[in-house]
Amino acid sequence: MPLLARLLTLRNSPLLLQLPPFASALCIVVGIAWLFILPLDEYSRQTYVSENAILPGQVHTYFGGSEHNVFRAYRQEVYGISGWDERDRLNAVESVIRDIGLKPARQDYRYTVAGEDIEGTNLYTILQGPRADATEAMVLIAAWRNFDGQVNFSGVALVLTLARYFKRWSIWSKDIIVLIPSDSTYGPEAWVSAYHSTATEVTSSRNVSELPIKAGALQAAVAIDYPVGPWGHRFDKLDILYDGINGALPNLDLLNTAVSIANGQMGIGCSLHGITAHSDKYPDRLKILTKGVITQSAGHATGPHSAFMPYHVDAITLKTLGDGWHDEMSLGRTTESIFRSINNLLEHLHQSFFFYILLGAQRFVSIGNYLPAAMLIAGNFTVTALALWVQSGRAPIASSPKSGSTNKQLQEGQLEVVKTAGAIVLIPKQATRTVQRQLFVPVLAVLAVHLLGILPIQALNTLNRAYLSLGLRIIAAISYILPAFIAIILVRGVKVSRQQIQIMQSFSLLLLGAALSTLATLNFSLAFVVGVLAAPLSFVRPLSIGRRSSNGSDVAIAMGSMGRYGQYLVEILGALTWTAVSPPTVLYAMTWYFDKDMQWMLLEMAKGWHAQGVYTPLVIWSIWWPAWILGGIVLVAGAAERVE
């Protein structure tokens, strides 16, 4: 009983009620700091191949000798046709494929986004594995143009040479699909979505035509990005691109296989995110981590491999970097060895991690070590939501009597006599009275603002490209007016109480916390970035500027007018923070920081939404934006009361 009593006492102690803002702040600080300790040796691990069947680099590679001559001939051919128009070029590549002895197939695609047409043709062929039963396949990709828009001369030539070379082997127990899309993003996207589509007709919503020939379930895909002209160029490092759409990642075993083959068997150094000088020290690891978080939170394609991830096909892109002494044959032998390893697989890659953060080509952090960062940040909203809910159940915050004080005012009006079991006690009324919560208006407001989030998504994804930046400007202007407008309607028109505003904020933060912690399991980076940007919303409270001093906090009263001005200063700073960290301003800041054109970025976002299935805009406009607007309403509601 004494223990229980003590616990129950604790439940009502004023200290506990003042704790939540600090607990929230602690969650945020620890969550952010968490990410910074991950690059340390104690929190990250050396990568290792965990699937037994892969056996990376255990086979001798025979790609070489006269294949080099074939490669040079193909490269010359590819260079020769690169100036031709689309149709002739496709015919020429098709005839090369036919000469190899394979059956070529085509797929046209066309996406229309913001008044812009993205069109092209995927050319592909299926090499039937001599020991395969057409149930499994692996994909070898070389896009005609690489991700930066250069013609992928050597990449396409290498893929054709490899196709010719692979055809002579009798060891393939999976079919090999050789895919040559027109571009690096939308071609693979169209192809892989048609490959997995059950519809027999043209997929009308995406303007993707069906595939004339198919093989079995795709086990893995490897893309080659080697945009070097007919005179050749020796490269230094192999950059491995691994981020999929919406921050999905390939199984770590595929990456490990590529790294261990390139490094161990061929002696080619590997890099990530184009950082070739990697010392494996803290700053470099942190740099790779940051780059990974940024690309994964954007969620857009980073190469031909990205489109495969949503379809549960592990894929990577090998991209050559720098000046060195490795030639195309080393790249060819690396690819051969990777395909031999994938060929060994008995079941779909599943053994290793799907959720990881890479710190270098051979160092990673597993999900158990990094997930708490995003969960803590999402949890801070839930903590504040619970605190606001509890607070809203208490009497209006007219003036909070301090416990144990013998204030005169307290003795007169605030005490209540309670008789129980022979004992008579005086207790502060505030501790006993719990007001009935009025839920209807807060729930309606939260729902309505979240529904409004559909409008910016619709606008930014359907407007013509010429009006995109104007659209964002209008949305930004409306975003800043809307909170004040709604707050005045709520306070003046509907006459909501302070308590209802609190409940509204509580629901909004609860929803934000639940949505972000769900998102953290799907796309950690995006959840983390949005969580950090939305973090100030936990500390938004109605402005008290201009209200009578009794309405201010105890500290302010105690410190007199100077304290009051100090409080105003804090509030103004808070309001400025709220203004600064809004979805539109963050978008503007991003274009400024990365030195990009606003229209270009919005067009890319619209393309990502329509053609790639990126859900980042949904997260921004229907999770973060409504929470930010509701935060603004809470902020302005205090000032609106005063004006009244």
Partner 1 sequence: MTSLRKVYDDHPKTVVFASGALIRILAALVFPRLPDLLTLRPEISTPVNSFKRLQEGLFLHERGLDPYDGGIFHQAPLLLSLFSLVPNPSSWIGRLISIVLYTGLDLLSADCLYSIADSGAGYKTRLFTSPRSDRVWKPISVAAAYLFNPYTLLACLGRPTSVFTTTLILLSISHACQRQTVTAAFALAMASYNSFHPILLLPPVGLLCYDRLCINSSNSQPFTTNGDTSFAPQNGIKISTDQRNHPQPLPFALKFTTTFTVFLTFLLLLSRLILPSWNFLPAVYLTPLTLPDLTPNPGLWWYFFIEMFDAFRSFFLGVFALHMLSYSVPFCLRFQKQPLVAVVLMMGVVAIFEPYANAGTAGAWLSSLGLVGHLFEGEYHVLLISYGPINVALVSSAYRYTFPALAALLYSTFLGPAFHHLWIYAGSGNANFFYAITLVWSLALLIILTDTVYSALRDEWEAERPEGKGKDVGQI
Please list the alpha-helical segments (H only) found in 13-85: 14-37, 66-81
Cα 545 to Cα 542: distance, rounded to the nearest angstrom: 9
Q: How far apart are the first and last CA of the chain?
A: 50
DSSP symbol at 219: E
Q: Judged by CB, which is closer to partner 1: 265, or 392?
A: 392
Q: Judged by CB, which is closer to partner 1: 518, or 549?
A: 518
DSSP symbol at 185: S
SS3 317: strand
Torsion, Cα of 225, 228, 229, 233 (10° steps):
-150
Q: Judged by CB, which is closer to partner 1: 162, or 248?
A: 248
Cα 166 to Cα 224: distance, rounded to the nearest angstrom: 16
CA distances from 378 to 24, 115, 471, 520 (A): 10, 38, 30, 9
Shortest Å, Cβ 521 to partner 1: 6
φ/ψ of residue 556, rounded to 5: -65, -40
**Strand partners for 180:** 123
Closest Cα partner for 31 from 472, 535, 491, 486?
A: 535
Assigned token pair, 222 = 């490897």
DSSP symbol at 310: G
Q: For residue 46, what is the enclosing H or E element?
A: strand 45-46
Shortest Å, Cβ 277 to partner 1: 32
Contact 626/450 with Cβ under 8 angstroms? yes
Shortest Å, Cβ 509 to partner 1: 11
Contact 115/465 with Cβ under 8 angstroms? yes
Assigned token pair, 231 = 């005179």
Q: Judged by CB, which is closer to partner 1: 287, or 312?
A: 312
Q: Judged by CB, which is closer to partner 1: 451, or 589?
A: 451
Shortest Å, Cβ 450 to partner 1: 12
Q: Judged by CB, which is closer to partner 1: 178, or 623?
A: 623
Provide the binding-site residues for partner 1, judged by CB under 8 A: 1-2, 4-6, 8-9, 11-12, 248, 310, 312, 348, 350, 354-355, 382, 385-386, 389, 416, 418, 420-421, 423, 425, 427-428, 431-434, 436, 493-494, 510-511, 514-515, 517-519, 521-522
Shortest Å, Cβ 280 to partner 1: 27
Shortest Å, Cβ 631 to partner 1: 19
Q: Judged by CB, which is closer to partner 1: 25, or 386?
A: 386
513 residue type, one letter: G
Shortest Å, Cβ 558 to partner 1: 25
Shortest Å, Cβ 520 to partner 1: 10
Q: Judged by CB, which is closer to partner 1: 367, or 586?
A: 367
What interhelical angle do 554-580 and 625-643 show, nearest 10? 140
Q: Judged by CB, which is closer to partner 1: 52, or 436?
A: 436
Contact 204/227 with Cβ under 8 angstroms? no
Q: Judged by CB, which is closer to partner 1: 423, or 558?
A: 423
Contact 513/20 with Cβ under 8 angstroms? no
- The 10 Å CB-count burial string (b at 16+, else e) for 362-391 is bbbbbeebbbebbbbbbbbbbbbbbbbbbb
Shortest Å, Cβ 249 to partner 1: 8
Shortest Å, Cβ 6 to partner 1: 8
Contact 329/71 with Cβ under 8 angstroms? yes
Shortest Å, Cβ 385 to partner 1: 8
Q: Judged by CB, which is closer to partner 1: 44, or 352?
A: 352
Cα 476 to Cα 591: distance, rounded to the nearest angstrom: 15
